[in-house]
Structure 1
Amino acid sequence: MVLFLAAGFSAQAQDLELEGVEPFAIPEMEGAAAEAPPPAAEDAAPQTRAERLDALFAQLLDPAMTEAAATRVQAQIGRLWSESGSDTLDLLLLRGKRAVRAGELDKAKAHFSRLIAFAPEFPEGWSSRAAAAYADGDFGRALADVGRAVELEPRHFAAWSGLGAILEKMDRPQEALTAFRKALEINPFSQTARDGVKRLEREVDGRDA
C-alpha cells in the first residue's frame, strides 16, 4: 500500500470546522453532515463505526453520486475519523486544530504529539500532526506522520492527498502522482487530488490531463 514510502518512512470534539490545513482538509465539514438525507428504512438499525464508514465510502463510488451529496458524505466520514472514543483525546485533537488555525504550529504539534503518545493507533492524530508539520515546512516529519496515518487508515483520502503534496514539495513527482491517484481511487470527489493529478500528469507523463 505504501511501498514507495519504505525508504523514507520511519514509524514512530466537536468544533469540526477545524479540519487541518490544505491539502489535508476535508471540505465543508461544519454543518454538512446535518444536511445529509435521513437513512433509508432498511438502514435505520444501529451500525458499527466500521459499517457506517464502509457504507459512506461505497456512496462515494456510486456513479449516481453528485458533487453536493459527496461533500456531505465526506463530512460524515471526517466526523467519524475524528471520533477517538475518549473526551480527553478529542480535546487534544481540538486544541491542536485550534492551534493550527491560530498559526501556533509548535503548540499544535505538541498537542498532536501528546495525542499520538496516548493513542498511537488513532489515525487522525498522525494525519493532524502531518498537516501541522506540512504547514511548518517540516516535510520530513510530515512524510513520516502521513505514512503512518495511511497505514492505520488506508482509505484516508485526505492523508493520501497530503502525502501527494508533501512528495511534490520534496521534488518527488512520480511518487506524488501515485499518492494523488490513490486518493482519487478512494474518493473521486477530492479536488486536491484532482488538481494534483492534472498538474503532475503533465510533468511526469508529458501530456495534458
Structure 2
Amino acid sequence: MKIAILALMGILAAPAAAMAQDKPPADPALDHLYERLSKAQSEIEARNIALQIERMELKSGSDTADLLMDRALTAIQASKTAKAIKILDAIIHLRPDYAEAWNKRATAYFLQKDYVRSIADIAETLRRNPREYGAWSGLGMMLVDMGDKKHAYEALKKALEINPQIPGAQKVLDDLKADVEGRDI
C-alpha cells in the first residue's frame, strides 16, 4: 500500500508535461477533441466527444494489440476481470507505451477492489497520457474510499479540468471541498 501511495504522490505532484514523457507525438485531431471536451456545456455533449476520444485512444497502432483489447473489453463487460487482466498483461507486454492498456487494466483491478494495483496502473496511464480524465476520476473515487480526502480532491479537480461534465464528480468534489479547503466563517 505504501508503494501505491508514493506513486500517487508522484502523480499528483508531477506537472503534466513531465508526466507525458512517453506520450506519442501530438495528434491535432485528438488535441481538438480534448479542447472541445474541456468546454462542453452538457453531459450529452461531453459524452459524445468522450466517445470520439476513446475510439481514437483505443487504437494502439498494432492490429494484434487492438484485437486483444477488444477481447479484454468484452471480458470486463462480462465481469470476467481476471481474464481481462491476463489479456491486458499480454497487451502491455507487447505495447508498454499503450496508455489505454494500462488504463483498462487499472479499471479491471478497480473492479476487483484491488486499489493498490489499480493506483499503480493509473500512475503508468497518466505518465503516458496525463489527459486521461477517467484515470484521474477513478483515482479520486478510490482515494475517497480509502479516506484520503485531500488527494481525492486534487485528483477530481484534475479530472474536471479535462472533462467538466463527468457525471457525479462535481458533487463529490463539492462534498470534499469543505474538508480539504475548510469552511467559510
Shift of 1:6: 6.9
How many residue pairs end up in the alignment? Answer: 165
Shift of 1:138: 0.6
- The equivalent position to 1:111 in structure 2, one of 87, 95, 98, is 87
TM-score, normalisation: structure 2: 0.81
> SS in structure 1 opposite 2:53?
helix
Supply the AA of the counterpart residue of 2:160.
L
- The equivalent position to 1:52 in structure 2, one of 23, 29, 46, is 29
CA 1:92 to 1:196, structure 2 compared with 1: closer, same or farther past 3 Å? Answer: farther
Deviation string 1:6-44 (CA, Å, 9 cap, x unpaired) is 7135xxxxxxxxxxxxxxxxxxxxxxxxxxxxxxxxxxx
- The equivalent position to 1:193 in structure 2, one of 158, 169, 178, is 169
Tell me, yes or no, if the aligned pair for 1:116 and 1:125 is still in contact at 8 Å: yes
1:8 corresponds in structure 2 to 7
1:18-37 equivalences in 2 (<5 Å): none
CA 1:49 to 1:86, structure 2 compared with 1: closer, same or farther past 3 Å? Answer: farther
TM-score, normalisation: structure 1: 0.72
Supply the AA of the counterpart residue of 2:140.
G
2:96 corresponds in structure 1 to 120
CA 1:88 to 1:188, structure 2 compared with 1: closer, same or farther past 3 Å? Answer: same
Supply the AA of the counterpart residue of 1:60.
L
Structure 1 or 2: larger helix share? 2
Deviation string 1:160-181 (CA, Å, 9 cap, x unpaired) is 1011112222221110110000
Identical aligned residues as a percent: 35
Supply the AA of the counterpart residue of 1:62.
K
Tell me, yes or no, if the aligned pair for 1:131 and 1:142 is still in contact at 8 Å: yes
2:39 corresponds in structure 1 to 62
Supply the AA of the counterpart residue of 2:73.
K
d(CA) in 2 for partners of 1:92 and 1:175? 33
Shift of 1:196: 2.6
- The equivalent position to 1:168 in structure 2, one of 134, 141, 144, is 144
Q: CA RMSD in A?
A: 2.2
d(CA) in 2 for partners of 1:184 and 1:130? 19
Tell me, yes or no, if the aligned pair for 1:161 and 1:192 is still in contact at 8 Å: no
CA 1:49 to 1:93, structure 2 compared with 1: closer, same or farther past 3 Å? Answer: farther
The more displaced of 106-115 and 163-172 is: 163-172
Higher relative contact order (CA 8 A, sep 6+): 2
The unaligned stretches of length 5 or more in structure 1 are: 10-47
